Chain A
Amino acid sequence: MTTARRWPRTTGLIAGVLWLLTAWMPALAAPADATSDRDVIIGVLAFRGEENALSRWTPTAAYLSTRIPECRFEVRPYTLRGLRNAVASGEVDFVLTNPGDYVELEAAYGITRLVTLRNLRAGHPYTVFGAVIITRADRRDIRTLSDLQGKSFMAVSRSAFGGFQLAWREMKEAGVDPFSDLSRLVFAGFPQDDIVFAVRDGQVDAGTVRTDILERLAKEGKIRLSDFRVLNAQTTLGFPFRHSTRLYPEWPFARTEHTPDRLAQRVAVALLTMPEDHPAAVAGRYAGWTVPLDYHRVHELFQELGIGPYHHELTLALLWSTYWHWLVVGTLLMLTMAAVTAHVLKLNRKLDQTNRSLEEEFRERRRAEAQMRKLSTALEQSADLVMITDRQGVIEYVNPAFELTTGYSRVECIGQKPSILKSGQLPEETYRHMWSTILDGGVFTDVFINRRKDGSLYYEEKSVTPLKNEQQEVTYFVSTGKDITDRVRTEERAREHEAQIAHASRVSTAGELATALAHELNQPLAAIVNYAKGGIRRLRSGASQPDQLQSALDAIAQQGERSGEIIRRLRRFLSKRDLKYVTTDINRVVREAVQLASLDARQKRVRLETHLAPGLPPVTGDSIQLEQVVVNLVRNSIDALTGKTDGLVTVTTRLSASGEVEVCVDDTGPGLPPGGVDHLFDAFFTTKAEGMGMGLSISRSIITAHGGRLTASARQNGGAHFSFTLPTAPGEKIA
């Protein structure tokens, strides 16, 4: 409250000082009243020659003479340098020049723009213009501004605004400094038409001219537009001419410092009210005048290029001479403010002291209240399920999210125990473990399968945190959880889906193995028949000896088992059952897989070797899916070797350096398909005539689901190397 009273006083004081200053300011300006009835000189930049300038602007001067009869207006054409001198010496009263020159003269001699030209180009008035950078259309080597590096270039002059500086700015931004990066920079002066011709005739590689010159020359039949290429071509809505640069305001009509205010005013009015189609406008190829445009963009250009008014070196003396009055004012202001502030501070100090302690207390209480409100709102609005129980597990609070998910209202819950949610889907062990953890003061986190009031189940990812009082005794338990039922279901569906695909792929593999399988079953069957028939013959001929017959019968039994084993292995491989992630011996998996794949190896006359590291730690996984991966990899390698003599596939198991179990399948085939490594594991990618191209893709998703990685690489001596890793199972060793 005291602070509020303090400020108006200060503000009032500052306002006072400012008022003083503002009142004082006009004295800084130097008004000069001039007499009427005199010759008024309009200095005009003659960029297309003196005659051209005279014929163009004399009618405008005549118009002004008519509108302001006390004065005789006269046009004087100048070059850039000439105009500067004329302004410096006070020779001219008004200046009509290009924006660049204007900005320079404005900075140097304080001329001020009154109106901006509405220039007539191709029959339409435009208040902006730019420059176009051109090269011959057949110069394939020059397509962008940066291509100008090392080329010859023609422009009007260093100080020509439309005839050079606009292009300079764009070139500089493109990284080409016209003064150091070009092979030759030619300043050809006015008229700009010559630059266009020089480019066309190949005297220079490129050049720049003001916008509309190209179009005008083409209209006059002097050039063909198709002979030129416009570099850095721009498009601007409502501006029809080819241009390579930003657009800048048209020529301003400016007064000089010594031009009388009244005269300037009357000239401005006369020009602004000139009809579009006035003979003077027609002669000057323009459509009257408009309110002065912002020449800021021109300033920017000069700033960027470090030319024009920004060319000066900054010195302290220069700063002082330019800004001394502002420095004086600033210092005064600061001193005043300091005095005022000191005064006010003194007045307030006492009040502040008395108030401070009260305020502090008040603030503290407000903060605590806000904090409480924030916390309880957070609990109430949280999307997570929150439940608070006492030390005995009796529910004292549940939040709306809890009510919504479980179907139990707060009233129904309070006084109950969380066991109302028990689904019986979790082992009692889990609950025991939870209680022992939280009673010990630890945080327990797990996924719970709970039952809603309506009997349906939901999954909750839950943390139970004990709250302690100052004596470090557990007094409450806070349970926070997320209903992850949807996520779990989605994951289950995805897993089911993947298992289905994996199964389909195994069926397909078994189909491809059918021929080899029939052959493999034939072997023991043929052996059995041979033993049996031989035995019968011996019995008939009476040449039989019991011990011989017994060994034949043993062999028969053995071969029967062998056939049974082949069928068992196949049935197992084809079985369609839920995924079972259990502790698994990888070597056993590999042996089963190699047995299956060996059918193929024998059929295709490829040698198959295994090197299994003994004593590997167990992995957690689904043995059939892992077997499927090994079968896929081995068959993939066998296929790569088909038709090759002495083909060898080696399956190795080992413990990797990072402590993971690794299974490698190496072959002596042609290696990986060129550029195929990236797509090797994509579904339907195959280099084989037969097969769906699903094997490697499915293998990779199986291994990924097991928390491992499946990779492929080319072997140094040719052939391919596939390997996958699996994290080892925590805990027990395999029996």
Chain B
Amino acid sequence: MTAEAHIYIVDDDSAVRESLRWLLESAGHAVEAFDSARDFLRSYSDDSPGCLLLDVRMPGMSGLELQETLKDRGVDTPIIIITGHGDVPMAVQAMKAGAVEFIEKPFNDQVLLDRIQQCVELDRRRRQDTAARSDITDRSARLTPREREVLDAVVAGKPNKIIADELNISIKTVEIHRARGMTKMEAGSLAELVTLWIQGGLKSGEPPVSP
């Protein structure tokens, strides 16, 4: 959660690669640089938040191809595509394929660093969301089927009396299930419960889905 952000640079031109490293390190980033997509893939793990800087044109696997490969592997670390002069069509293609940003060489350092910051934030937020969702899912897994049914109805805004009628149980029983459920979900109020339901992507009547 609090892991240090990593910026990955993949560029076959050593001058560009090393100067980027210098620049990003000057701004306090942890940088890892690779001269080919293949090398990058060999040592990359998405343990820590960060973003990728890819040169769109490289011999061997191109930036676009690397983007595809990562997508296939389910990696959604944000990608900034660096393009040279006249590569706009490629950049558009990259954006369509899900790249977060593209930036044309030579670039303004502040613009680049801002973009990197935004991407790192985005990645961090995504990772937090993912973590939160799996926490809620864990909690909801502890509910009995009856408790789940009752809470689904509560989240849907139904009064206890209606719930009792629908489930053909007494209002008292509904209240007991509701109280136990709220405790298991660690929700202090109805509003909190609804938030959890939305954050955790829980839908009424369905078993919990793991991310």
Indicate whether B6 reaches chain A with its CB closer than 8 angstroms: no
A595 in contact (CB, < 8 A): no
Do A522 and B15 have beta carbons less than 8 Å apart?
A: no
Say which residue of B16, B27, B62, B86 sits within 8 Å of A537 (CB atoms).
B27
The interface residues of chain B lying within 8 Å CB-to-CB of A526 are 16, 19, 105-107
- B13 CB contacts on chain A under 8 angstroms: 523, 527
Tell me if B16 and A527 are in contact (CB < 8 A). Answer: yes
Roughly how many angstroms separate A538 CA and B28 CA in the complex, as a whole number? Answer: 10
What is the interface size of chain B, counting residues whose CB is below 8 A from a CB of the partner?
23
Identify which of A140-148, A271-279, A600-608, A698-706 touches chain B: A600-608
Q: With A522-B105, A559-B15 as given contacts, are A515 and B86 in contact (CB-CB < 8 Å)?
A: yes
**Do residues B59 and A602 form an inter-chain contact, with CB atoms below 8 A?**
yes
In Å, the complex CA distance between A558 and B23 comes to 17
In the complex, A729 has a CB within 8 A of chain B: no
Contact B23 A518 (CB under 8 A): no
Residue A504 lies at the interface, judged by CB distance under 8 Å to chain B: no
CB pair A522–B84 under 8 Å, yes or no, is yes
Residue A719 at the chain B interface, CB threshold 8 Å: no
The bracket for how many chain A residues form the interface is 20 to 34
Q: Is the CB of A527 within 8 A of B86?
A: no
Interface check B138, CB cutoff 8 A? no
Q: Mark A505-539, 1 if CB is under 8 A from B, else 0.
A: 00000000001001100111111111101110110
Q: Chain A's nearest CB lies how many Å from the CB of B106?
A: 4
A391 contacts the other chain (CB 8 A)? no
For A524, list chain B residues within 8 Å (CB).
Answer: 15
Q: Do A607 and B18 form a contact, CB below 8 Å, given A522-B106, A534-B23, A534-B26?
A: no
Q: Are B27 and A555 in contact (CB under 8 A)?
A: no
Chain A residues contacting B62 (CB-CB under 8 Å) are 605
Closest residue on chain B to residue A603 by CB atoms: B57
A552 within 8 A of partner (CB): yes
Q: A526-B106, A526-B107 are in contact. Are A534 and B19 (CB under 8 A)?
A: yes
Interface residues of A in 556-576 (CB under 8 A from B): 558-559, 562
B73 at the interface (CB under 8 A from A): no
Q: A523-B15, A526-B16, A562-B15 are in contact. Are A533 and B109 (CB under 8 A)?
A: yes
- B residues 1-53 near A (Cβ < 8 Å) are 13, 15-16, 18-20, 22-27
Which B residues are in CB contact (< 8 Å) with A558?
A: 15
A605 to B55, CA, bound (A): 13
B96 at the interface (CB under 8 A from A): no
CB distance from A562 to the nearest CB of B (A): 7
Closest to A544 in B: B26
Closest B residue to A524 by beta carbon equals B15
Q: A522-B84, A535-B26 given as contacts; is B59 within 8 A of A555 (CB)? A: no
Q: Given A522-B106, A525-B106, A531 and B23 touching (CB < 8 A)?
A: yes
Identify which of A518, A530, A555 contacts B85 (C-beta below 8 A): A518
Pairwise interchain contact B20-A530, C-beta atoms closer than 8 A: yes
CB proximity of B28 to chain A, nearest CB, Å: 8
A515 partner residues in chain B, CB cutoff 8 A:
85-86
CA separation between A389 and B172, bound complex, in Å? 144
Chain B neighbourhood of A555, CB < 8 A: 15, 18-19, 22
**Proximity bits, A533-557, B CB within 8 Å = 1, else 0:** 1110110010100000000100100
Beta-carbon contacts of B73-90 to A below 8 Å, as 1s and 0s?
Answer: 000000000001110000
Minimum distance in angstroms from A638 CB to a CB of chain B: 13
CA distance A335 to B24 in the complex (A): 128
Residue of B nearest to A543 (CB): B26
> Shortest Cβ distance from B12 into chain A, in angstroms?
9
Which residues on the B side are within 8 Å of A559 (C-beta)?
15, 19
- Give Cα A164 to B27, complex, Å: 113
On whether the beta carbons of B15 and A534 are closer than 8 Å, the reply is no
**Residues of B with C-beta under 8 A to A552:** 22
Shortest CB-to-CB span from B115 to chain A, Å, is: 14
Contact indicator B109/A534 (Cβ below 8 Å): yes
CB distance from A408 to the nearest CB of B (A): 67
Q: Scan B174-187; emit 1 where CB is below 8 A from any A CB, else 0.
A: 00000000000000
Cβ contact of A529, chosen from B24, B86, B109, cutoff 8 A: B109
Within the assembled complex, what's the spacing in Å between the Cα atoms of A522 and B58? Answer: 15
**Pick from A519, A525, A530, A602: contact of B23, CB under 8 Å:** A530
Judge whether A607 and B15 touch: CB under 8 Å: no
B191 to chain A, nearest CB (A): 44
Bound form: Cα–Cα A688–B24 in Å? 44
Bound Cα distance A562, B13 (Å): 13
From B13, B23, B24, B107, name the one whose CB has the most chain A CB atoms within 10 angstroms: B23
Whether A605 contacts B59 by the Cβ 8 Å rule is yes
What separation, in Å, do the CA atoms of A530 and B57 have in the docked complex? 19
Q: Which residue among B24, B25, B26, B106 has the maximum number of chain A CB atoms within 10 Å of its CB?
A: B26
Docked complex Cα distance between A522 and B85 (Å): 8
Question: Which residues from A are CB-within-8-Å of B26?
Answer: 533-535, 537-538, 541, 543
Could you tell me the distance between the alpha carbons of A515 and B23 in the complex, rounded to whole angstroms? 27
Please give the distance in Å from B67's CB to the nearest CB on chain A.
16
In addition to A518-B85, A537-B26, A555-B19, 14 A-B residue pairs with Cβ atoms within 8 Å of each other are: A515-B86, A519-B84, A523-B15, A523-B16, A523-B84, A527-B16, A529-B19, A529-B109, A530-B23, A534-B22, A555-B22, A559-B19, A562-B15, A605-B57
- A/B interface sample: 28 pairs, CB < 8 A: A515-B86, A518-B84, A518-B86, A519-B57, A519-B86, A522-B84, A522-B105, A525-B105, A526-B16, A526-B105, A529-B19, A529-B106, A529-B109, A530-B23, A533-B109, A534-B26, A534-B27, A534-B109, A535-B22, A535-B26, A538-B26, A555-B15, A555-B19, A558-B15, A602-B57, A602-B59, A605-B58, A605-B59
